[in-house]
Structure 1
Amino acid sequence: MELTGNLIIGASDVPARRGTMKALNPASNQLIEPDFAFGGALEVDKAATLADEAFDSYSHSSLAVRAAFLERIADNLDQVREDLAARAALETGLPEAQLQGEASRASTQFRQFADVVRKGRFLQLSIDPAQPERQPRPRMDHRLQKIATGPVAIFGASNFPISYSVAGGDTASALAAGATVVVKAHNAHPGASEIMARAVRKAVRESGLHEGVFSMLRGSGNTIGEALVDHPLIKAVTFTGSEAGGMALYRRAQQRPDPIPVFTEMTSVNPTFILPGAMAERGGAIGDGFIERMLANVGQACLKPAILIAIDGAGFTSLRQAMLDRLGTAPARTLLTPAIHAAYVSGLAELIAVGAQRLAEGTAAKADLDGRATLFEVDGQEFLAEPRLAGEVFGPVALLVKVGDSDEMLAVARSLRGQLSATMHLEDSDTMLARRLLPILERRTGRIVVNAFAHPQEVSFASVHGGPFPATSDSRFTSVGMTAIERFLRPVCYQGFPDELLPEALREANPLHLPRIVDGQ
């Protein structure tokens, strides 16, 4: 597929006005053609203005029209899957077969949200009929539905260049809610971003929608992102990335004359707790599985299990040896970007500086941006005394925390900050300890896994990809799964309306046959 390098602003291809960039192939550390355009505040204003102009018509489009639009996006993504995966592989160093699967996941998400839209439950329709005879004061008719918040700015992620990018879950859920979307594409995969943006724009045109429903921008440094967050027509922001980057956007959004929500997914070490019965029964298998999942995506997954906490008792030696064996043969692999590689090197150095003992390394790096798998160990008291040991290192790095007993394990759990996930491996004999650990984990994460690993995650109605700070900036919401749509909705009550003026979903005859709560029933 031929790439133009242009920005996609509504129906227009916009050439460079603020400089250009080339994509980097991290495996070879070589630049790739073509040049990709940068935009600035002028392009942000054009995209946001179009998104605002499109919002009323799109957010009031019928559920059938909106669902069909999402399915067209899915179809268009399927049509470009091979080209998309091939280009993304060049720009990330990830295997093309893996990226084919990621592209399938992206199109599946759009189809899942189309089903959500058709069923209409996300509207949360509620009716309290008038009670004119009620004493001492009559009650007027009240009817409630959820509507979209307004145009949304979405920041693409670096580590999943398709399913968390231009046509990823944030875009799918925002469009499903009825929001118009302006995406800031990640500069780590500009070609893949353009392919996805054209697939979405094609669906906008095929569906007869206003061109401002979707735009894609790109820029250098922080300027374009700050302009997006500052723009008065943008009403919500999503971001996946570092804690520093996410909190900079969050604070900026709160300093606007009209503060807006910023839904960030930031940092998590996804702690894994091995309870004594499970460790004695299958410590070696758990250790092997832990390292295998840690190495997935070269350790560049937000759900990477990074810290394993285990009691020094029966099965610990088998657990530890299995981790050493699996990691020791792991090949060094390419990290996604020079910035990620630099942070990985810095993170390794910090762990060593604060007292972590290096247990094992994988095979040596052969290329400039390779990440060498590394396993560290500390005991529980060292971990409790040094908070920096609990920090995330993005890349193929893990920490084994050896604790003396169950009380020390619980103390380690209490010391942790907010997480996207936490895992317990247990047997029936571990039930009492699990009951003590569970409420500690509930306060610190949005998803607790038993006898499996947190990565990968299903995309479903019950999925939760969120958690207390610093995992996210708002633990009430998820960025994965069907309920991710709730981030972009707000309630509106229609009081005393004539039936013909009500939204169709709230009219007395229920012409759309949607589920509704009437007088609490």
Structure 2
Amino acid sequence: MITGKNQIGYKQSAEGAKKYKTANPVTNSDNPTVFYEATQLEIDEACSLAAHAFSTYSKLPGVKRASFLNAIADEIEALGSDLITMYMQESGLPEGRAQGERGRMLGQLRMFAELVKNDTWRLPLLQDEGGNLKKTYIPLGPVVVFGASNFPLAFSTAGGDTASALAAGCPVIVKSHPMHAGTGEMVATAITKAAQKTAMPEGVFSNLNSSGKEVGEQLVKHKGIAAVGFTGSHHAGRALYNLAAARETPIPVFAEMGSINPVVITQQAISKRAGQIAETYTASITQGVGQFCTNPGLIITVKSEETTHFIEILAKHLEATPGGCMLHTRIQEGYEKSKNEIKAQESVSLKVVGSSSKPNHTTAALAVVDGTSFIANKTLHKEVFGPFSMVVLAEDKNELLNIINSLEGQLTATIIAEDSETIALQDITLALQSKVGRIIYNGVPTGVAVVDGMTHGGPYPASTDSRFTAVGNHSIMRWVRPFSFQDFPTALLPDYLK
């Protein structure tokens, strides 16, 4: 049963006067539950409990934290179809997507449980030169995690940020996303049950409701918070980053803030398989109604007759692809606003308009612009969150490289080429490498595998710290810091360093 209350440690609380509801974007109507926004006193209580919990939780053996993480997965799994139903009511996403995302969330929890069963992940180093030194990694402290609008499960309440922070030994306070507060409460209840069953200290987890930005800002500024995990827009992520830097004691903000994910297509590839590429990229551009941070929002190639033909094929495929329901009215309105802003720019032509008469629904849009105009106009570099892509036409390879060099930091880049061109692609590869966290060859950027080889991050503004990934076991390193013991008595060392 959804109560609409905040989860603060082991109790539920609804002290605030500010209330709100989530919405069903498919029916374009409010869901029934009233949610209570957290007050300053409730925020203070959650942070105080987290700070007290940290002193105990951070010292627990890895096997106990692993037990907690596995218990969370078990409790979430026990929610069954009720969680799927709530997810669909609040996101408008289909059942298959809900089930897939739940599987990803459960997989992440169990993956981190396996990782921390022993302490090898801390990379313990023992060295006698320069003194008897023992180096390890220790947790930072309580972490605030912001739920993501486009992933109500995998990047939200018990998603990758929460799972990795708990695995590292950091208590977590989730700032629940207002679009899926009911889904968040169900998952938060499961986490709380798991914490109680495994005898975790109260305050190891809390879940706070918020309809706006105030609760998130108060959490980031709170002296009890040691780090922040965020997935969302550049505007919001940068605002949180600035708040954290302005504190008396600055704290790290690990924000993933979106990307236009450039795709470079060679002339040989277009000449040999224009139809196949157009079909493949139509599916990628429209997957999830374009609401992925790895959506291919930019296609860069050299102007030619073959390119013109490719654009025509791509446009026809996109026009023939049925539209879909976006996550929320605000997201659909934001998509239309961003698309119209691009359309209004000089030298831009919209080959596919993208619209729908159904509330909160839309279809794909495709724009085309010349390379010189793209380089000169930073408005064209902005992410359009939805089923949108822009083709940038370079005069030649030199201008194509200039286009790449004009780009801001991105999560991914893709090269579509023939294998016979590999030597000629070295300069393009090097140019892209300086701009992104991951390069794909003859594939699509959509689809982020939860494996150790995956880098989900990139140079600013794709993320606030390109040295880290938000996906895979290595994402745990965001929540720890290096620490050395010098000439220490064995009895005072952690067990794994004895």
TM class by smaller structure: over 0.9
- 2:379, 2:474 → 1: CA distance? 33
Tell me if 1:294 matches 2:293: no
Matched residue, 2:427: 436
What does residue 195 of structure 1 align with? 186
Pair 1:341 & 2:332 matched: yes
Match of 2:135 in 1: 144
SS in 2 for 1:446: strand
Partners of 1:430 and 1:81 in 2: how far apart? 50
Q: CA deviation at 1:426?
A: 1.4
1:315 shift after superposition: 4.1
- Pairwise mapping of residues 409-448 of structure 1 onto structure 2 (< 5 A)? 409-448=400-439
Contact 1:22-1:35 at 8 Å conserved across structures: yes
Q: Aligned residue for 1:29?
A: 28
Give the counterpart of 1:307 among 288, 298, 302.
Answer: 298
Identify the match of residue 374 of structure 1 among 365, 370, 374.
365
Identity %: 38
Say whether 1:116 aligns with 2:115. yes
What 5-or-longer segments of structure 1 have no aligned partner? 132-138, 508-521
Q: CA RMSD in A?
A: 1.4
CA distance in 1, matches of 2:454, 2:423: 27
Match of residue 66 from structure 2: 67
Q: CA deviation at 1:68?
A: 1.3
Match of 1:408 among 361, 381, 399: 399
1:218-265 deviation line (CA, Å, top 9, x unaligned): 123221111101110100011111111111111111111100001111
Q: Kindly state the Cα deviation for residue 307 of structure 1 after the two structures are TM-superposed.
A: 0.7
Deviation at residue 317 of structure 1 after TM alignment: 4.2
Separation in 2, partners of 1:361, 1:284: 21
1:92 positional shift = 0.9
Cross-structure match for 2:43: 44
Match of 1:166 in 2: 157
Provide the residue aligned with 2:469 in structure 1. 478
Aligned partner letter, 1:236? A
Distance 1:274 1:314 in 2: 14
Aligned equivalent of 2:351, options 355, 359, 364: 359
| CA 1:410–1:433: 2 relative to 1, 3 Å | farther
Aligned to 1:519: none
Specify the code of the residue in structure 2 equivalent to 1:419: Q
- Which of residues 207, 210, 213 is equivalent to 1:216? 207
- CA apart distance, 1:81: 4.0
Tell me the equivalent position of 2:484. Answer: 493
- Which is further off, 78-87 or 198-207? 78-87
Q: How does 1:208-357 map to 2 (within 5 A)?
A: 208-313=199-304, 315-355=306-346, 356-357=348-349
1:411-435 superposed Cα distances (whole Å, 9 cap, x missing partner): 1111110001000011123213310
Structure 2: distance between partners of 1:282 and 1:194 = 48
TM-score (norm 2): 0.97
**Deviating 4+ runs (over 3 angstroms):** none
Q: Where does residue 98 of structure 1 map in the other structure?
A: 97
Task: Provide closer, same or farther for how the CA distance between residues 349 and 361 of structure 1 changes in structure 2, counting only shifts above 3 A.
Answer: closer
Alpha-carbon contact 1:47-1:212 (below 8 Å) kept: yes
What is the CA-CA distance between 1:318 and the residue it aligns to? 4.5
Quote the Cα distance in structure 2 between the aligned partners of 1:80 and 1:199: 8
* Corresponding residue of 1:510: none
Q: Which amino acid aligns with 2:159?
A: G
Is this contact kept in 1: 2:10–2:192, CA < 8 A?
yes
1:458 to 449, 455, 469: 449
Any unmatched runs of 5+ in structure 2? none
Secondary structure of the equivalent of 1:212?
coil
1:5 has 2:4 as partner: yes
Aligned residues: 497
The separation in 1 between residues aligned to 2:424 and 2:375, in whole angstroms, is 20
Deviates more, 1:307-316 or 1:419-428: 307-316
- The question of whether the paired residues in 2 share the 8 Å contact of 1:311 and 1:404 is answered with yes
User: How many angstroms does 1:348 deviate by?
Assistant: 1.3
| Aligned equivalent of 1:135 | none
Equivalents in 1 of 2:471, 2:160: separation in Å?
A: 7
Is contact 2:258-2:294 (8 Å) kept?
Answer: no
Counterpart CA distance in 2 for 1:237 and 1:429 is: 45
Paired position in structure 2 for 1:89? 88
Q: Secondary structure at the match of 2:44?
A: helix
TM-superposed deviation, 1:21: 1.1
Residue 271 of structure 1 contacts residue 309 of structure 1 at CA under 8 Å; is this kept in 2? Answer: yes
Cα distance in 2 for partners of 1:469, 1:172 equals 24
> How far 1:339 sits from its partner (Å)?
1.8
For residues 253 and 385 of structure 1, what CA distance do their matches in structure 2 show? 33
